[in-house]
Chain A
């Protein structure tokens, strides 16, 4: 069908803004269901549209407009002069806008410090640190995308406060983040790596060495340290150490799995595999990438026994750790998580 139907990339914006007629919507969705290329375009446009909603429009300084108007009012010396002047003005405008953008003060976030029944409001921006002791806590408004509750005995700093990047550094202690933005706009750096918001609510605690715990209550969080990354969905947790993120596990997982992946206990792989439920394919999927080839084959076999392997996912490709294959399998397994 895709071979004979026109791509719908020219209707992406209209679709996002609900401007298609019911018939056009039907045709659009039918095509989309069969066209991977158009689905990828839709994801990109949707992401861009979501970000645009966050962008604030900055006005150019009045002086620029005065300079342009003055230039336009001058009589042309030759027929080429107006074009050259316009080009020069445009270049100057671009340079000044860049200069203004770079010189503009970074966004400041509201912060409320709470000590017992007393509250004190303030503002924080890049380079600022919030430090609480046992008797204080704080609530930070992260621009317009959410809030972060800072528990006692915590040290957290603002690294970036731009529309496209909201980044904190958690040195020690515990935070609880509630974010309503599109994925990959909010980040928290720790000594064990970076927690990347994929549209979620979560708690993160760490010490200065990176030992800590990520607990997700809504959506997804990706925890990344170099090439090592863990995807943690709602209802799951993940230990972190100075070596990066551990293997995620569901909070209701069997005791054996929690002892191994939450408490670091040593158990035989077969014991872990035997205890795993269908839902624990979250843990097994991550385990595939953290064990050697011989163990990987046993993990694959257990996963295949727990739930059918989807079309396009083969033992051979999984054992080779083929990234698109693993991603496709993860998307299918997520229906059991």
Chain B
């Protein structure tokens, strides 16, 4: 009984130790022709109970000096655990997509600057929690002040 308990504890630790997180990629990573024109795709990893996975996304932008906010649809791709974000925000201005995820008691987040030719990989940030409003403002500021593509 004790041995079984130790094994179960080990399995649980391994499962949780993997950690819930996002991996970002260009649309080709999804290998799903329906999303070839997506702004980017992402993979939710380390969620031991996929039915409890909750995802949401919002695009925060600055257009002609004015702050804008657009709710973004998270679309599942043909591969399980892979999702696509299509551009549903205006082409004008500078935009950062904020991803938010929860799986059981775990959380994950990401700040993804998106330019006219897709997401800016080097400037994107994956976080172990939802981004704070301060981080969102900072990301937008860096992107609008010095971001280029």
Among B24, B32, B80, the residue within 8 A (CB) of A33 is B80
B50, A218: Cβ atoms under 8 Å?
A: no
Chain B contacts of A193 at CB under 8 A? none
A30, B31: Cβ atoms under 8 Å?
A: no
B23 contacts the other chain (CB 8 A): yes
- Bound complex: CA of A33 vs CA of B44, how far in Å? 12
Among A46, A218, A334, the residue within 8 A (CB) of B78 is A46
Chain A contacts of B46 at CB under 8 A? none
- Bound complex: CA of A39 vs CA of B80, how far in Å? 9
A199, B80: Cβ atoms under 8 Å?
A: no
B26 contacts the other chain (CB 8 A): yes
Measured between C-beta atoms, what is the minimum distance from B11 to chain A in Å?
Answer: 12
Most chain-B Cβ atoms within 10 A of its Cβ — which of A46, A198, A200, A219?
A: A219
- Bound complex: CA of A258 vs CA of B26, how far in Å? 21
Q: Would A331 and B31 be within 8 Å (CB), given that A218-B37, A235-B26 are in contact?
A: yes
A: contact size bracket: 20 to 34
A182, B33: Cβ atoms under 8 Å?
A: yes
A33, B27: Cβ atoms under 8 Å?
A: no
0 or 1 for each of A6-28: is its CB under 8 Å from B? (1 = yes): 00000000000000000000110
B36 contacts the other chain (CB 8 A): yes
A42, B26: Cβ atoms under 8 Å?
A: no
Among B23, B33, B37, the residue within 8 A (CB) of A335 is B23
Measured between C-beta atoms, what is the minimum distance from B14 to chain A in Å?
Answer: 13
B43 contacts the other chain (CB 8 A): yes
CB contact list, A228-261 vs B, under 8 A:
233-235
0 or 1 for each of B51-94: is its CB under 8 Å from A? (1 = yes): 10000000000000000000000001011110000000000000
- Bound complex: CA of A158 vs CA of B36, how far in Å? 26
Chain A contacts of B15 at CB under 8 A? none
Q: Would A335 and B29 be within 8 Å (CB), given that A29-B50, A29-B80 are in contact?
A: yes
A300 contacts the other chain (CB 8 A): no
B28, A337: Cβ atoms under 8 Å?
A: yes
- Bound complex: CA of A83 vs CA of B76, how far in Å? 51
Measured between C-beta atoms, what is the minimum distance from B124 to chain A in Å?
Answer: 12
Measured between C-beta atoms, what is the minimum distance from A230 to chain B in Å?
Answer: 14
Minimum CB distance partner of B49 in chain A = A30
A318 contacts the other chain (CB 8 A): no
Measured between C-beta atoms, what is the minimum distance from B59 to chain A in Å?
Answer: 21
B29, A337: Cβ atoms under 8 Å?
A: yes
Among A30, A181, A198, the residue within 8 A (CB) of B51 is A30
B50, A30: Cβ atoms under 8 Å?
A: yes
B25 contacts the other chain (CB 8 A): yes
0 or 1 for each of B7-45: is its CB under 8 Å from A? (1 = yes): 000000000000000011111110111101100000100
0 or 1 for each of A319-337: is its CB under 8 Å from B? (1 = yes): 0000000000001001111
A43, B78: Cβ atoms under 8 Å?
A: yes
Chain B contacts of A219 at CB under 8 A? 27-28, 33, 36
A285 contacts the other chain (CB 8 A): no
A334, B37: Cβ atoms under 8 Å?
A: no
Measured between C-beta atoms, what is the minimum distance from B77 to chain A in Å?
Answer: 11
Q: List 21 A-B contacts (CB under 8 A).
A: A29-B50, A30-B51, A32-B80, A33-B80, A33-B81, A39-B80, A46-B78, A182-B33, A198-B33, A199-B32, A199-B33, A199-B34, A220-B36, A233-B26, A234-B27, A235-B26, A334-B25, A334-B29, A334-B31, A335-B29, A337-B26
Closest 7 CB pairs of A and B: A199-B33, A219-B36, A233-B28, A33-B80, A335-B25, A26-B51, A334-B29
Chain B positions within 8 Å of A, measured between CB atoms, are: 23-29, 31-34, 36-37, 43, 50-51, 76, 78-81
Taking A32-B80, A219-B27, A219-B33 as given, write out 18 further A-B residue pairs in contact, using a Cβ cutoff of 8 Å, ordered by the A residue number: A26-B51, A29-B51, A30-B50, A39-B79, A42-B78, A183-B33, A199-B33, A199-B34, A218-B27, A218-B36, A234-B36, A235-B26, A334-B28, A334-B31, A335-B23, A335-B29, A335-B43, A337-B28
